[in-house]
Structure 1
Amino acid sequence: MLRRKIETQLEAWRSAPKRTALLVTGARQIGKTYIIRHFAQQHYDHIAELNFIENPDLVALFDRPRDAKNLLMRLELAVNTPLVPGKTLIFFDEVQRCKEMVTAIKFLVDDGRFDYALSGSLLGVELEDIRSVPVGYLTELDMYPLDFQEFCWSQHIGNDVFDMLAECFAKHQEVDEFIHQRLMELYSKYLVIGGMPAAVDSFVANGSVADVRTIQENIKREYRRDISQYARKEDRLHIRAIYDLVPSELNNPNKRFTFAKIEKNMRFQSVASDFDWLVNADVAVAAYNVDEPCTPLEMSKERNLFKLFYNDVGLLTGSFLKKTALDVLDGNPDINYGSIYENAVAQELRAHGFDLYYYNSKKLGELDFLIQDRNDHVLPIEVKSGKSYKRHRAMDNVLAHPEYHLNTGYVLGPCNVSVEGNVTYLPVYMAGMFHNE
């Protein structure tokens, strides 16, 4: 079994003094169902699972909110598992097909006899218009593809290594060279395999990159089917086109999305909701341009200027030719890893609780990412994939600007830890050291 960080959050939910229902959200194929089943097997004598896709007739049982007595009678008739108070987890899966279940959960939580978990995909899209989200009755946990540390766990790298990395990050100390090289090799694998559990499981089992690419393509096909099934009919072609354009747009010099690629003379206003659909469905990660690199970043966000990334770097690398994947694995110095590195960093920062922004000025240059930490400090980040990682004109210009008051910048690249002036250089695998959960 793949070890996941969300297990700690599940333990915290179960031990909380005030019990709520658990809602695990995230993209399809990231392991939501599996992790809830595994958690239930460890902590409950019984698990009653209702899947609204596998058994669509169940939707009619919860077509409108009812009292707890009525709902529980319906549940007893719908499952073959004994419902033992205090020892049973009732798990509603694929709840995007039964929106009223999320509203009705408050009656069951108030009843208090059982614990409840809910999960589903595209909840940011399908539950957007729900009539009454039961505030105070749901604990919502976001789940993502495996980050780099979780991938390393699958490769038998223990927490002691990451404790050491955290210390090096905090003290700006070099990582032991042997460990650094080993982690860079693992990172190259991660860029190809990514963090989708099925892909990682397959790679752990047989080491075949070809099998991994097949799994990745199947996942993307499933995402495209979701677009056809869940998006509004008039939006489907544009959403599909946007999703398929992400790899080529990230390979553009400025990586900013060009609307004309979707359709000639296309304007942002006509497709804004289509971009939102992909982000809200958790299959894409957006970084928005800001007017100024100053807190609060959200205030100066420009909605019509953004970069779009896949939710998993492996899906991006799998979109390229097989030779590209082999070059990444081999660390071929002649390959430009820029878009792949940036996607991996965007994915990692988003999973660690950050909203993503970037800054682009004709006068000062472009910063790849801006994030805002828990102390409301703005941290500029540049991502470099080549040997010239110490060339960063935009970073130097922004740090020197007297009105921005930025004390330090970070460069993530194929390097070890070092500090020069107010710029800290970090190995790209240390993107996970930034936390904002």
Structure 2
Amino acid sequence: MEKDMLKRKIDSFIKEFFRRSKNALLITGARQIGKTFSVREFGKKFESFIEINFVENQSAVEIFKTAKNSADILLRLSAMTNIPLIKGKTLIFFDEVQKCPEIVTAIKFLVEEGSYRYILSGSLLGVELRDLRSVPVGYLEVKDMYPLDFEEFLICNNVNKAIISHIKDAFYEKRSVDDVIHVKLLELFRLYLVVGGMPAAVSKYLETNNLQEVLAVQQEIIRLYKWDISQYAYKNKLKIEEIFDLIPSELNAKNKRFILKSLNQNAKFTYYEDSFLWLKNAGVALPVYNVEEPKVPLLLAKSRNLFKLFQSDVGLLAAQYSDGIQLKIIMGQSDINFGAIYENAVAQELAAHDFNLYYFNSKKQGELDFVVEKDGMILPIEVKSGKDYAVHRALTNILENSEYNIKEALVLSNANIKQIGKILYAPIYMVMLIEKKKEKPLIYKIDLSAVS
């Protein structure tokens, strides 16, 4: 997997972070998404790079658990490795830190000591890492990492930068994409639905172009996730694995909402809530919560027991369906239900762009596939895999409701781009361009001259 260098956006983020900040960086995310590889690549920029993996090196866990202060930690660290610690020129990498939460707590003192730079990584397995997200404030920044998004997938497939620029210009200027490019991008998007964004699967495709070998890699990742469930969530492992296995069939249902009765005829949400949260916090599932109204802030209207549950990677979702579906997806065969697969890809892309995921459903007004907050406004998103992409009763009702005051909406489909009223109809592959504006510093100063 690592012999093929996949270009990732996280690489630029890490480089920029260490340029602008003296703090430590914690990269979190599901297993097998390339966290360790990206850190090792960045480590090559330092004169000295030290890596401590708390899964592979169990003795290191005990050593750091009993350390008294930063000097003690650094002394023990120097005894564990034959790599020199060079002040100002050493990057220290603590990997799989969920096995040693003490090192996350101690990072404050190591950063304060100031001799070396620190980067940490961990998989969201269990609750240890999640509970440590807020500490130590001011010394540790957290960055979530995801599988390759669609733009990264295009770059890894050597799509010309000029082509990507053409697509971006078309999106922002709301003009049609060249027909030849449009057809090819739809083909690449269908390929992405099958290969997905797990680095091992992408690397295997680039190396072989063999979808069977890609499928074998994906199935191995799914087995690894199930092994993680049995190892890290032993109290609820049967419930969690049952939910995980039901994701494809529940998404194939008419409204795609996860129905508890699929688990047990008398199931109650409180009994299963921890299991759903485990899958979310482990990074292997993406819940999209129902909101009662499409108004800012969406969090206040969130219903925690009504949600859709997507796979963290669309390629893994395709791998969970029946054999032979991969080629049918790539060929765009009409007998395939693309709705669930398209929506999973959109959920995955939005999550990778740091959006909180919601949908809206009302008996009177209908259902919107996604509702997100973008630049302080509500953006409704409909995902259409068929030819009737202009039919959207719920979206029309929402836009006509003056109470919601929605300025624009987005319909993603296989058609080329066009603007009709408040609705932008855009090709499904343009989901890669839905991003938040970079926040500018919010500076506010009170004039105290009258009271000073």
Category of TM-score, reference length = shorter chain: over 0.9
Report the TM-score, using the length of structure 1 for normalisation. Answer: 0.96
2:444 aligned residue:
none
Q: CA deviation at 1:129?
A: 3.7
How far did residue 130 of structure 1 move? 4.3
Equivalence for 1:322: 323
Match among 212, 215, 219 for residue 213 of structure 1: 215
Per the alignment, residue 129 of structure 2 pairs with 127
Q: Is contact 1:50-1:92 (8 Å) kept?
A: yes
- 2:94 and 2:125 map into 1 onto residues whose CA distance is 13
Match of 1:296 in 2: 297
Alignment match, 1:58: 60
In structure 2, distance between residues paired with 1:247 and 1:189:
19
Give the aligned partner of residue 10 of structure 1: 14
Q: How many angstroms does 1:234 deviate by?
A: 2.9
2:30 to 19, 27, 31: 27
CA deviations over 1:117-172 (Å, ceiling 9, x no partner): 11110167322344982111112111100000100111101333222222211111
The 10-residue stretch of structure 1 (351-360 or 159-168) with the greater mean CA deviation from structure 2: 159-168
What is the SS of the residue equivalent to 1:412? strand
1:360-379 correspondence to structure 2 within 5 Å: 360-374=361-375, 376-379=376-379
Query: For structure 1, which segment, 414-423 or 281-290, has the greater mean C-alpha deviation from structure 2 after superposition?
Result: 414-423
1:113 aligns with 2:104: no
Please give the residue correspondences for 1:248-397 in structure 2 after superposition, counting only pairs within 5 Å.
Answer: 248-374=249-375, 376-397=376-397
1:421 and 2:421 aligned: yes
User: Percent identity over the alignment?
Assistant: 49
Q: What letter matches 2:43 in structure 1? A: A
Q: What does the per-residue CA deviation read over 1:273-296, in whole Å, with 9 as the maximum and x for residues that have no partner? A: 211111111111111101111111
> Which amino acid in structure 1 is aligned with residue 27 of structure 2?
V
Change in 2 beyond 3 A, CA 1:48/1:218: same
What amino acid does structure 1 have at the position aligned with 2:324? Answer: K
- 1:271 maps to amino acid: Y
Shift of 1:387: 1.0
C-alpha distance in 1 between matches for 2:157 and 2:63: 44
Query: Is the 8 Å Cα contact of residues 125 and 232 (structure 2) preserved in structure 1?
Result: no
Change (3 A) 1:409 1:131: closer
Distance 1:109 1:381 in 2: 43
Q: Which one-letter code corresponds to 1:20 in the other structure?
A: N
CA distance in 2, matches of 1:123, 1:40: 25
CA distance in 2, matches of 1:234, 1:102: 25
Q: TM-score, normalised by structure 2?
A: 0.93
Identify which of 185, 192, 196 aligns with 2:198: 196
Q: What SS does the aligned partner of 2:55 have?
A: coil
Residue of structure 1 equivalent to 2:92: 90
Amino acid corresponding to residue 399 of structure 1 in structure 2: L
CA offset digits 1:340-395 (Å, max 9, x no partner): 00000000001001001101111111100000012x10011000101111111111
Distance 2:48 2:344 in 1: 41
SS in 2 for 1:371: strand
Distance in 2, Cα, partners of 1:65 & 1:58? 11
Secondary structure of 2:379 counterpart:
strand
CA distance in 1, matches of 2:220, 2:123: 16
Please give the secondary structure, in 1, of the residue aligned with 2:130: coil
1:79 aligns with 2:99: no
In the alignment, the residues of structure 2 paired with residue 262 and residue 100 of structure 1 have an alpha-carbon distance, to the nearest angstrom, of 37
Deviation for aligned residue 1:64: 4.3
**Matched residues, number:** 433
Superposition misfits of 4+ residues, deviation over 3 angstroms: 128-132
Q: Tell me, what secondary structure is at the counterpart of 1:223? A: helix
Question: Which residue identity does 1:342 align to in structure 2?
Answer: E
